[in-house]
Structure 1
Amino acid sequence: MPTPTDKTPRPLGRVLLTGATGMVGSSVLAALLNAESASEVVALGRRPSGRDHEKLTEVSFTDFGDTQAIEPYLIGTDTVFHCLATYSARVSRAEYEEITVDWLRALLTACETAAPKAAFCLFSAQGARAEGGGMSFALKVKGEAENALFASTLKRKLIFRPGYIAPSGPRSSWKPADYVFKPLQRLVPTIGVTSDELARAMLETAMRDPRDTVVLENSDMRALLE
């Protein structure tokens, strides 16, 4: 179903971005640096992105579970893009829950205090369900993360559930599965989006969708990109 659009786009303003060195986060960062609507981008991360831009401030940061440590970086923030994520196969279940849910809750609590009017954009996954459903442990945890956002007092809550995400970057960043799914995604676009397309959908929705609560499935994003 096509998403409604606002004829008067909302400025992204001062943006806080997490996960800027990941596949999705790096595409979101590139889109933000090219977006006139974003006046400043503060990227919290364990390592620098390697980008040099006049409106980018990179902060070496590891205390993602510490609400008070996050708060100073949120003051004056208009839009948050939370792209910090990990693959469930790379960490233990406890670590996956900590990164996906606990760190998100800390960020949300900090945002409620320091930037309560900010729009919050959450990178989730196809198959996640806020009611606790999902076909795998990872999707159930993603559903818990969505619940945390829905339970927050923030006014604008935007969730994105892409299917397969094809890397838009160089081949050095590819994983074995990408060599199968990326060509398939070209033949059957509906199975997913590229990381650059996902970034574009996230920015466009934050700027133009008039709703305060938005959950975009992969098909919604594909329709938005047409």
Structure 2
Amino acid sequence: MPVQNEQNPRALGRVLLTGGTGMVGSSVLSALLDADSASEVISLGRRPSGRQHHKLTEVTFAAFGDAEAITPHVAGVDTVFHCLATYSSRVSREAYEEITVDWLGALLHACETASPSMTFCLFSAQGARPDGGGMSFALKVKGKAETALFKSNIARKFAFRPGYIAPSGSRDGWKLADYLFVPVQRLIPSIGLTSNELALSMLKTATNDPRHSAVLENGDMRTLLD
């Protein structure tokens, strides 16, 4: 159960976002640009979103496995939303683990070096476990990523494990499963969240949760939307 302290919310401040052009990352980016407590948003990604906003700085970046190259971009950052992810079905197992675990490890090392007092929010998956367990290869890898986060010296760290994520907005990029599950999710919201709802729950946790470390399951995030 999430614990919220809305009496004295924490400012998001200077924010670093990864994966800002993905389904979840684009929803987080929109929420950040609308958030008064986010003073600046640095979007570090493999391609630009094309958005224009006075708070937004987009950096086209490919060296995600190089902590030294990442460090200048996290200096002075207050909050990180790490939404960079890929589907395990689209890449090899080696590439999936590199993107999910190794790239995260480089980012965490850069954050520990430049801004260890920050808040770090990790987009994970339902069924992942921080002990590296899980019912599939992808979930085991997600578990390894959570392990790396919670072993880090970063001051505040949260992992988010949504169920089914229904795309918000247009149908551009929908998968076959989305045409099947989006209507079901609308009828039975408890099975997951929309990408916009996930983004909102991540921002609420970063600003209002008094804990230093927590895993938020799908139900916990839905509670934050009430």
TM-score (norm 2): 0.98
Q: Could you list the structure 1 runs, at least 4 aligned residues long, displaced by more than 2 angstroms after superposition.
A: 1-6
Cα offset, 1:6, TM superposition? 4.1
Contact 1:14–1:40 (Cα < 8 Å) also in 2: yes
Q: Which residue of 1 aligns with 2:186?
A: 186
Cα offset, 1:45, TM superposition? 0.6
Task: Work out whether 1:96 is the aligned partner of 2:83.
Answer: no
Rounded to whole Å, the distance in 2 between the matches of 1:151 and 1:178 is 35
Contact 2:20–2:29 (Cα < 8 Å) also in 1: yes
Cα offset, 1:4, TM superposition? 3.0
Cα offset, 1:131, TM superposition? 1.4
Percentage of matched positions with identical amino acids: 71
Q: Which residue of 2 aligns with 1:67?
A: 67
Q: Which residue of 2 aligns with 1:225?
A: 225
Q: Which residue of 2 aligns with 1:149?
A: 149
For the residue of structure 2 that corresponds to 1:171, the secondary structure is coil
For the residue of structure 2 that corresponds to 1:9, the secondary structure is coil
Rounded to whole Å, the distance in 1 between the matches of 2:46 and 2:124 is 21
Cα offset, 1:3, TM superposition? 2.8
Letter of the 2:208 partner, please give it.
Answer: R
Cα offset, 1:2, TM superposition? 4.6
Task: Work out whether 1:54 is the aligned partner of 2:61.
Answer: no
For the residue of structure 2 that corresponds to 1:5, the secondary structure is coil
Q: How does 1:161-200 map to 2 (within 5 A)?
A: 161-200=161-200
Cα offset, 1:173, TM superposition? 2.0
Q: How does 1:6-155 map to 2 (within 5 A)?
A: 6-155=6-155
Cα offset, 1:135, TM superposition? 0.9
* Unaligned ranges ≥5, structure 2: none
* Unaligned ranges ≥5, structure 1: none
Contact 2:3–2:210 (Cα < 8 Å) also in 1: no
Per-residue Cα deviation, 1:184-203 (whole angstroms, up to 9, x for no partner): 00111110000000000000
Contact 1:3–1:220 (Cα < 8 Å) also in 2: no
Rounded to whole Å, the distance in 2 between the matches of 1:142 and 1:190 is 22
For the residue of structure 2 that corresponds to 1:172, the secondary structure is coil
Per-residue Cα deviation, 1:15-69 (whole angstroms, up to 9, x for no partner): 0000000000000000000000000000001111111000100001000000000
Letter of the 1:110 partner, please give it.
Answer: A
Rounded to whole Å, the distance in 2 between the matches of 1:169 and 1:46 is 22
Contact 2:3–2:211 (Cα < 8 Å) also in 1: no
Cα offset, 1:123, TM superposition? 0.2
Q: CA RMSD in A?
A: 0.8
Rounded to whole Å, the distance in 2 between the matches of 1:5 and 1:89 is 39
Contact 2:166–2:181 (Cα < 8 Å) also in 1: yes
